Structure 1
Amino acid sequence: MINFYKIKVPLLLAIVYLSMPSVSFSQEKNIDDMEMVTVPSGFFYMGSNGLKENFDEKPIHKVNLSNQFKVSATEITNKQYELFDPEHKKHRGKNGFSNDDDEAVVYVSWNDAMAYCKWLSKKEGKTYRLPTEAEWEYACRANTYSTFSNGDKLPENVLKWQDKPESISLQKLTVRKSKPNGFGLYDMHGNVEEWCMDWYGPYKKEEITNPSGYASGNYKVTRGGSHNNFMNSLRSANRSALIPDDRNYLTGFRIVEVNYTAGPYYPAENVSPLNQQNVSQTTFKWIQNERPVFLAPIEYIKSPDCESRPTMYAHNHCPAITWCRNGDLLAIWFSTESEFGTEMAIWASRLRAGNKEWDKASLFYKVPDRNMTGSSLFYDKESGTLFHMNGMSPSGWWKNMALILRSSNDNGATWTKGNIIAPDHSQRHQVIAGMFKTKRGWLVQPCDAGPGVADGSALCISKDQGLTWSDPAGALELPLFEEGKTGGSIAGIHAGVVELNNGDLMALGRSNDIVNAEGIKKMPLSISKDGGKTWSYQASEFPPISGGQRLIFMRLNEGPLLLVSFTHHPLRSVGDKAGMIINGKKVYGIFASVSYDEGKTWPLKRLLSDGKHRFMDGGAWTGSFIMDETHSEPRGYFAATQSPDGIVHLISSKNHYRFNLKWLETNKINQSK
């Protein structure tokens, strides 16, 4: 692992500022008793060497700030902000954060912060605004080029649960508890992350004066890092960003007072990734397959030809897939070094109509410096709309996530800006591939109900074609996932959900195993008769699955229900407990099962293999395995779509399987034991 605290700065840059004369800085208070610190004009070298996930800090470039400006010595506090917006008091102490007058205000969007600046400007007859990104870094560094403004390591009293991605700790956000930097500014490293004026975009190498970022974009820059965030995010050079409407427990702001207009904008960048290039808009004519089909599996994740920005990592996992009107298949997944990492990004590839191989991978979606666990794709053939749903954590863990929705009406060539449709960063928001549309026209998105393996699953439902969404249960308590019990969550994480012909919802999931009448643990089955508000639980006939495994549960175009799951878990089942008897033969790995009576019985089961011997790589947690007449992929995270020609396209963490119902039914007369 890279130690970011030992990254060395070019000696020449250090000499430039060590040789500068010392300057004294004035402090004054405005009429709201807010201390404002004068920062002198000058120049500095912005950015860093930008290793790995910090690629966006390159290139280091010279920035001239030709005017002095004043910066609030601390982040804006609850007391200061609520003089403008008294209604914000309802957010005091939300999720346990920022309750006191002198704590940094949080749960404020970029638009809220800008409105505060406008109000204060009118009130005082001065010009207040958010700092530009360049002004922020210049003020933070205070003539330094070390990792932090005070050196290469922060004092212990400044740290507020850094590098603890597996938990979230309640922290006091009181301002002015750290020593000020060389300009007299407090809490520039941590406490709360701070909004900046700029739209986020890549740096340019050219020298620039008074930059203001980009003319437009998708995200507004944030700086400084926060409590409950990685140490790496607290560095002077670190860049983060958020959707301007985002309100969360990590982000606040400070202000600047200026008497000048900010300088030039960079023009918006319009370079499309490969997955959005040359996308056909011709409606494809699908031809129904009348014969059994099972095609040799192929890999759909292929690394780019050259080093990419951001980096595509070795851990590629948690996919989603859909067919498109033009005959393409579009698959997405996350790529990351750590599943707790803020470097996690969503990547994509296309299998273009008529092609035999998938495109090289290219970036699909990334909110800068955020964990992006959980993605879903769905093509609504009635409206011709592609939907992309993604989770987004404000830090490095998937426990508290917002839901972001984008849509496309041109086969994914262009996408709308991300819309936060579930604004609270909270549980029940870890997206699972498998969005579907009910007979009433509701869009249903399954999500994990919590970060734990026993927390079950939840639903997010839209009754107005994606405009508004809600959780029909809204339950945060953990129900008892036992036979005959009811609760507000689906039993099992990573659940697959279908609508039955009578309007009920049925779900199958991982973990929360239920003991059947014979005393054997089975995969849990959940039924809701009220649109997902409550669920009843029972044992299914299927073996339970565990770590590194995610099932598929869907309705086929032909009408039957399809389950694709695993015979056992290779690390948790040995001897007689491993594998499963299908057609009188012990088999191991992926199997498919079909129900013709709405899940009451499952007369058809088949190992997902054509019997040919192959040595394969499953990627992610799966690793290498043998595929033959009795073995198939032992574990992986599944996503699936069925194209109009009847082919089921099943992807795991690296491989693409293709088969149809007729192929499964070649085993129909054989019963499973």
Structure 2
Amino acid sequence: MKRILAIALLLSAANDSFGQKNSAGIDMVAIPAGKFYMGAEGEGETADESPVHRVSVKSFKIAKTEVTNAQYEAFDPDHRKFRGKDGFSKEDDEAVIFVSYQDAKAFCEWLSKKEGKKYRLPTEAEWEYVCRAGTVTDFSTGRFLSKAHLKSQKTDRNPEVVSLKVAQAESNAFGVYDMHGNVEEWCSDWYGPYAAGEQSDPVGRISGLFRVTRGGSHGTPVAYLRSSNRMAMIPEDKHFQLGFRIVEGDVPITKPLPAIAPTAIFQNVSQKKFEWKKVSESKPVFIEPVRYVHKPECPDEVPFFHHNHCPAITWCPNGDLLAIWFSTNQESGREMTILGSRLRAGQSQWDKPSEFFKVPDRNMTGSSIFHDGKGTLYYMNGVETDGDWKNLAMVLRTSTDNGASWSAPAMADPEHQVRNQVIGGMFETKEGWLVQAGDADPGPVGGTAIHISKDGGKTWENPYTNPEVPEFKAGGTGGLIAGIHAGVVQLKDGSLMALGRNNNIANAEGVMRMPMSISKDMGKSWTYSASEFPPVAGGQRLVFLRLKEGPLLLISFTHHPEEPDENKKGMLFSDGKGGTYKGFGMYAALSYDDGKTWPVKKLLTDGKDRYLNGGAWTGAFEMDQTKAEPRGYLAITQSPDNLIHLISSSIHYRFNLSWLSRK
């Protein structure tokens, strides 16, 4: 009875406030002061919703609906150009989208000045208080949402275009609409873990990387529309799922929580320059393979999931190696995070992993990390609007202190689109330009694009002139590299060469081979031919690198382990005694003439019998004289001592050129 009476009072207060439109035509609803239970008993990917804590909020007014196109364009008429982008939000009364945090804040400042009142974005606590409207269930409607709230509530790499017209579903007990779905909404808080205990008007962290967004969108699975679900985004980002609503009232004067403490990978990082001692150019070196992906001691504090894959690696001036990879339950999942680990100078075991970078509730497919040899580390990552890995923007961070701290995320490519699925393997050309490859399609075929920065990562350009996927055939020309997950190098004449997965090309004998692409205009166009190497497929990613000593190095796989044709399995390798043997799995190939010939092909094993587990899609395998790792996503770097560091999805290999070239 008390609950029913309370809700009736709330409805009465809300109804009394209807019709209070401001000069922008926005209906403001009076929200009474009160208390509520914020958060949920989350774990795993929802751990950031915990702990549940009692929160008091003062009274304020909030917009009855999200800000619409017509309302926002009264402030920024030029924003009309975004109507219909990606097919969404064409009409006056649809929620405005493609609005960054700064844009939303500027709208509030404009309206405040125009009316002489204080308008702002809601705090995260205010937003959840209004969303719950007196409930403690998953939704303000109870355990389930009504059909009227649901639009295209699924992760779909090709989003379903639906109307974003506001106030189409029933309002909650406060008389407020669209708190579950339609579009995500910016909040004023920096994202960070909750504090336990009872609180009054909390305002989040004092600083951070991401601003909180709430409510989910038209294309968000229902689980992410819950009242307690937390999301966030880079403040400069704007996309087709994100809008905002406004609050009228004073900014809470509560002291913010401290900034989030750095995770282990950023702690106790030596800043002493390391003296690299070159390994012998004549003595072969192959060091026992070790795992670099270890389960953390306390997985509750590190978001470590069962699928760890898609790595990148670089060396640091202090002698450390830095490896990063994604950890997830599903490759299309929003829980996907980027973990990292260090092999600290002088140590033989990699550190336990810790979180390296995570935009909350966004898929993070594709990472790259690179040291330019002059003290700057570059880190590039894909960031989705939601799940899957098609609508990716590219985000760049840099470090000049061995990865102990990083710049704020910058939008290297702000458009959430194809061609931005980052691949490990960033490199610097002889002109001093940075080159980053990215898959041009989320599927198994479709080629690879490159992105180039000529100013040290400040700006990036896409050099291809034809964005359409070309027909990859021998002698053909197109704007993309043949094959996804491509490795790219610069040749001595300044051209670019790339090798990729799928989009295979038949050689003169009609045998399908790994495609080779050449660009003589720095990526504007590519010509295609069949390489001499066998194709690679699912769960396999090659690496391609110019070694410090000069040769080109390719590391790939002899065949796919699920290849049904026994005659296509394995390759012939020299036994060093004038004969050959058939080997299976990961191999290296060397070219001393910029890819014209490949006189050295070597199975990546030292011949010892050992059990290894490659993780991800690889799993357990046996290495011996004729067998090497059967598949894995590879990443590579060569440290100043000339030691080559190769990582697969779980294993770290070390060897030198002398070992590779020894027969």
The question of 1:601 aligning with 2:592 is answered: no
- Aligned equivalent of 1:4: none
Q: 241, 258, 268: which one pairs with 2:258? A: 268
C-alpha distance in 1, partners of 2:379/2:110?
A: 37
Q: Secondary structure at the match of 1:478?
A: coil
Distance 1:387 1:261 in 2: 38
Counterpart for residue 517 of structure 1: 508
Equivalent residue, structure 2, for 1:158: 149
1:436-463 deviation per Cα after TM superposition (whole angstroms, max 9, x unaligned):
0000000000110111111110011100
Per the alignment, residue 99 of structure 2 pairs with 108
Q: Please list the CA deviations of residues 606-641 of structure 1 after superposition, one character each: whole Å capped at 9, or x if unmatched.
A: 000001111111100011111000001100000000
Match of 1:253 among 222, 237, 244: 244
- Is 2:629 aligned against 1:633? yes
Cα distance in 2 for partners of 1:261, 1:74 equals: 20
What does the per-residue CA deviation read over 1:371-412, in whole Å, with 9 as the maximum and x for residues that have no partner? Answer: 111000100113x10111111001001101111111111101
Greater mean deviation of Cα atoms: 557-566 or 35-44: 35-44
Tell me the amino acid that sits aligned with residue 89 of structure 2.
S
Are the counterparts in 2 of residues 444 and 459 from structure 1 also a CA contact under 8 Å?
A: yes
Change (3 A) 1:166 1:81: closer
Aligned with 1:87: secondary structure? helix
Q: Which moved more, 1:249-258 or 1:206-215?
A: 206-215
What amino acid is aligned across from residue 263 of structure 2 in structure 1?
Answer: P
Partner of residue 391, structure 1: 382
Deviates more, 1:632-641 or 1:282-291: 282-291
Distance 2:219 2:259 in 1: 32
CA drift of 1:56 comes to 0.6
Contact 1:55 1:309 in 2 (8 A): no
Q: For 2:269, which of 267, 279, 285 is the aligned residue?
A: 279
| Residue 335 of structure 1 pairs with residue 327 of structure 2 | yes
**1:12 aligns to what?**
none
Task: Give SS of 1:458's match.
Answer: strand
Match of 2:640 among 637, 640, 644: 644
CA contact (8 A) 1:59 1:205 kept: yes
Correspondence for 1:457: 448
Alignment of 1:492-511 (within 5 A): 492-511=483-502
1:356 counterpart residue number: 348
Alpha-carbon distance between aligned partners in 1 of 2:450 and 2:151, rounded to the nearest angstrom? 33
After TM superposition, the structure 1 = structure 2 runs for residues 181-260 of structure 1, keeping only pairs within 5 Å, are 181-258=172-249, 260=250
Residue 168 of structure 1, CA deviation = 1.9
* Cα distance in structure 2, aligned partners of 1:468 and 1:29: 43
For structure 2, the residue ranges without an aligned partner over 5 or more in a row are 575-579
What amino acid maps onto 1:646 in structure 2?
N
1:44 aligns with 2:72: no
Selected match of 2:534 from 517, 525, 543: 543
Q: Distance in 2 between matches of 1:285 and 1:591?
A: 31
Query: Match of 1:320, SS?
Result: strand
Amino acid of the structure 1 residue aligned with 2:503:
N
Task: Determine helix, strand or coil for the equivalent of 1:348.
Answer: strand
Contact residue 513 and residue 521 of structure 1 kept, 8 A = yes
| 1:20-58 Cα deviation digits (max 9, x unpaired) | 463112212223322111111101010000122111111
Q: Give the conservation status (yes or no) of the 8 Å contact 2:545–2:553.
A: yes
Residue 63 in structure 1 maps to residue 83 in structure 2:
no
Contact 1:379/1:385 (CA < 8 Å) preserved in 2? yes
Asked if the contact 1:55–1:310 (Cα under 8 Å) also holds between the matched residues in 2, the reply is no
C-alpha deviation, 1:160, in angstroms: 2.2
Residues 20-29 or 451-460, more deviating: 20-29
Shift of 1:166: 4.5
| TM-score, normalised via structure 1 length | 0.95
Q: Which residue of the other structure, out of 559, 565, 569, is the alignment partner of 2:556?
A: 565
Q: Provide the rounded CA distance (Å) in 1 between the counterparts of 2:588 and 2:147.
A: 54
Which residue in 2 is equivalent to 1:670?
none
Helix, strand or coil at the partner of 1:134: helix
| Post-superposition offset of 1:500 | 0.3
In 1, distance between residues paired with 2:439 and 2:141?
Answer: 42
For 1:82, the aligned partner's letter is E
The question of whether the paired residues in 2 share the 8 Å contact of 1:209 and 1:263 is answered with no
The 5-angstrom pairing of residues 135-150 of structure 1 reads 135-150=126-141
- 3-state SS in 2 of match to 1:29: coil
Following superposition, the deviation at residue 310 of structure 1 comes to 4.8
Q: Does 1:380 align with 2:367?
A: no
Supply the AA of the counterpart residue of 1:622: T
Q: Distance in 1 between matches of 2:364 and 2:619?
A: 23
Give the partner amino acid of 1:615.
Y
User: What residue number does 2:577 align with?
Assistant: none
Deviations 1:213-247 (A, max 9, x none): 12211111000001222222111000001111111
Q: CA deviation at 1:183?
A: 0.8
Task: Note if contact 1:389-1:431 (Cα within 8 Å) is conserved in structure 2.
Answer: yes
| Alignment equivalent of 1:658, drawn from 635, 654, 657 | 654
Runs of 4+ more than 6 Å apart? none
CA distance in structure 2 between the partners assigned to 1:224 and 1:282 by the alignment? 46
Which of 571, 574, 585 is the matching residue for 2:565? 574
Deviation of 1:123 after TM superposition, in Å, equals 1.3
Matched, 1:404 2:395: yes
1:593-615 deviation per Cα after TM superposition (whole angstroms, max 9, x unaligned): 00000000001000000011111
Report if the CA contact (8 A) 1:320-1:332 is conserved. yes
Unaligned runs of 5+ in 1: 1-14, 668-673
Contact 2:420 2:440 survives alignment (8 Å): yes
| Aligned: 1:619 with 2:615 | yes
Partner amino acid, structure 1, of 2:342: R
CA 318–16 in structure 1, closer or farther in 2 if over 3 Å, else same: farther
- CA distance in 1: counterparts of 2:618 and 2:350, whole angstroms: 21
For the residue of structure 2 that corresponds to 1:22, the secondary structure is: helix
The match for 2:336 is: 344
CA RMSD in angstroms, aligned pairs only? 1.3
Tell me the SS of whatever aligns to 1:198. strand
Residue 5 of structure 1: aligned partner: none
d(CA) in 2 for partners of 1:308 and 1:499? Answer: 44
Counterpart of 1:482? 473
**Bigger shift: residues 272-281 or 401-410:** 272-281
CA distance in 2, matches of 1:403, 1:265: 34
Correspondence for 1:10:
none
- Specify the alignment match of 2:305 in structure 1: 313
Relative to structure 1, the CA distance from residue 641 to residue 472 in structure 2 (aligned partners, 3 Å threshold; closer, same or farther) is: same
More displaced stretch, 19-28 vs 145-154: 19-28
Residues of 2 paired with 1:219 and 1:74: CA distance?
Answer: 24
Aligned-pair CA distance for 1:206: 1.8
User: Is 2:343 the partner of 1:323?
Assistant: no
Which whole-Å CA distance do the structure 1 matches of 2:509 and 2:610 have between them?
A: 37
> Does the residue aligned with 1:283 lie in a helix, a strand or coil?
coil
In structure 2, what is the Cα distance between the partners aligned to 1:338 and 1:646? 37
Q: Which one of the candidate residues 403, 408, 412 is aligned to 1:417?
A: 408
SS at match of 2:355: strand
Q: Which residue of 2 aligns with 1:592?
A: 588
Matched, 1:554 2:545: yes
AA partner of residue 329 (structure 1)? L
CA distance in 2, matches of 1:286, 1:204: 45
Q: Secondary structure at the match of 1:271?
A: coil
- Counterpart AA for 2:51: P
What TM-score comes out, normalization by structure 2 length?
Answer: 0.96
Aligned residues: 650
Contact persistence 1:230–1:396 (CA under 8 A): no
CA displacement at 1:494 relative to structure 2: 0.4
Q: CA deviation at 1:413?
A: 0.9
Match of 1:7 in 2: none
Partner SS for 1:84? coil
Q: What is the rounded CA distance, in whole Å, between the counterparts of 1:85 and 1:193 in structure 2?
A: 20
The one-letter code of the counterpart of 2:357 is Y
How far off its partner does 1:126 sit? Answer: 1.4
3-state SS of the aligned residue for 2:340? Answer: strand
